[in-house]
C-alpha cells in the first residue's frame, strides 16, 4: 500500500486537531455531490473518515474522490479501500495532490436519463444523441461515419435541433440552439465521437433547459436516496 506524503499527513493531523472538517467532491450523473467528512483515524497508508451515505454511494460508483480544505495547497485525490454505507465510514488510500477542474463549473450539468435525439448542422446535417445538458453547454455523441471534422471539428460554429422532455406531451416542442464545438474525443466503443458544445440559447430556450435541469436534479436526488436505502452487499467495498 502506497505511503502518504509527509506534508499531507501533517495537514491531516492539523485538521483533525482543529475543526476536523474536510469536504469531499464527487460527481453523480453530472451533479456535483459535496459533503463534509470527519477524520476518525489515520496512519501513513490509510485514512478513515465518517461521511454521508450520499458521498459514500458516489465513491462506490466512481472508485475515487477529491478532498478539499483550505490547508491543502491543491486538491487531493484518494481511492477507497473500504466503504461501509450502513456505518457511514470509509477508508481511503493513495492520497496525493491532484489538480482538477471538477469543481470549477459555474453551471449545473446533468446527464439525460436516456439519450435525446437531435440534429447537428453546419452546412451538412448529422443525427446526434444528447447525453449532458447545462444552461450554456451540451454534451453529445455522433457516429463516426457522420462526423465531418470540417463541419463539426473543434472551434466550428454549429446549430442543434432537439426536443427535451419536461413533463406532458404539451411541453414537448422543438428547440433550436447555436453553439461552438469546444472539444472532440473518441468514445470507448470506437463507433462514436463525444462532442462538447458551448451554447448560446435564446431566453425562451434557456427557460426550457432550466426546467429540464430542475426535473433531472429532482429525479437524480430521488434515485440517490433510493440507492442509499438499499442494504445489499454490492454497496460495500473491501468486504
Residues 40 and 133 in one domain: no
CA distance 104 to 68: 13
Kindly report, residue by residue over 191-233, the tens digit of the pLDDT.
999 999 999 999 999 999 999 998 998 888 888 888 877 643 3
- pLDDT higher than 80, residue 141: yes
Q: What is the CATH number of the domain that holds 180?
A: 2.40.10.220
- pLDDT higher than 80, residue 32: yes
Domain final residue, candidates 97, 121, 155: 97
- 89-97 vs 110-122, strand pairing mode: unpaired
Inside any domain, residue 102: no
Residues 76 and 115 in one domain: no
User: What is the number of structural domains in the chain?
Assistant: 2
Domain final residue, candidates 47, 64, 97: 97
Decide if 58 contacts 26 (C-beta within 8 A).
Answer: yes
Inside any domain, residue 238: no
CB atoms within 10 A of CB 86: 11
CA distance 159 to 199: 9
In sequence order, the 6+-apart residues with CB closer than 8 A to the CB of 88 are 50, 51, 52, 53, 56
Q: Supply the range of the domain harboring residue 29.
A: 6-97
pTM of the model as a whole: 0.73
Single out the residue of 171, 179, 190 nearest to residue 139, CA to CA: 179
Kindly report, residue by residue over 79-125, the tens digit of the pLDDT.
999 999 889 999 999 999 987 655 444 568 899 988 799 999 999 99
Amino acid at each position: 500500500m502506497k505511503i502518504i506524503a509527509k506534508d499531507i499527513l501533517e495537514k491531516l493531523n492539523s485538521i483533525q486537531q482543529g475543526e476536523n472538517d474536510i469536504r469531499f467532491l464527487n460527481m453523480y450523473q453530472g451533479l456535483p455531490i459535496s459533503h463534509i467528512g470527519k477524520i476518525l483515524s489515520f496512519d501513513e497508508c490509510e485514512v478513515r473518515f465518517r461521511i454521508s451515505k450520499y458521498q459514500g454511494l458516489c465513491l462506490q460508483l466512481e472508485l475515487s474522490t477529491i478532498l478539499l480544505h483550505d490547508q491543502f495547497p491543491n486538491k487531493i485525490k484518494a481511492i477507497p479501500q473500504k466503504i461501509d454505507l450502513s456505518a457511514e465510514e470509509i477508508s481511503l488510500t493513495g492520497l496525493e495532490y491532484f489538480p482538477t477542474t471538477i469543481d470549477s463549473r459555474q453551471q449545473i450539468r446533468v446527464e439525460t436519463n436516456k439519450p435525446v435525439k437531435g440534429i447537428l448542422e453546419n452546412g451538412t446535417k448529422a443525427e446526434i444523441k444528447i447525453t449532458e445538458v447545462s444552461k450554456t453547454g451540451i454534451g453529445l455523441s455522433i457516429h463516426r461515419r457522420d462526423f465531418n471534422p470540417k463541419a463539426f471539428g473543434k472551434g466550428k460554429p454549429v446549430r442543434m435541433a432537439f426536443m427535451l422532455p419536461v413533463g406532458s406531451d404539451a411541453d414537448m416542442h422543438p428547440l433550436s440552439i447555436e453553439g461552438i464545438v469546444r472539444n472532440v474525443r473518441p468514445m470507448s466503443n470506437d463507433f462514436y465521437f463525444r462532442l462538447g458544445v458551448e451554447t448560446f440559447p435564446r431566453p425562451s430556450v434557456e427557460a426550457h433547459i432550466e426546467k429540464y435541469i430542475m426535473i433531472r436534479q429532482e429525479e437524480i436526488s430521488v434515485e440517490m436516496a433510493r440507492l442509499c436505502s438499499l442494504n445489499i452487499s454490492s454497496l460495500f467495498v473491501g468486504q
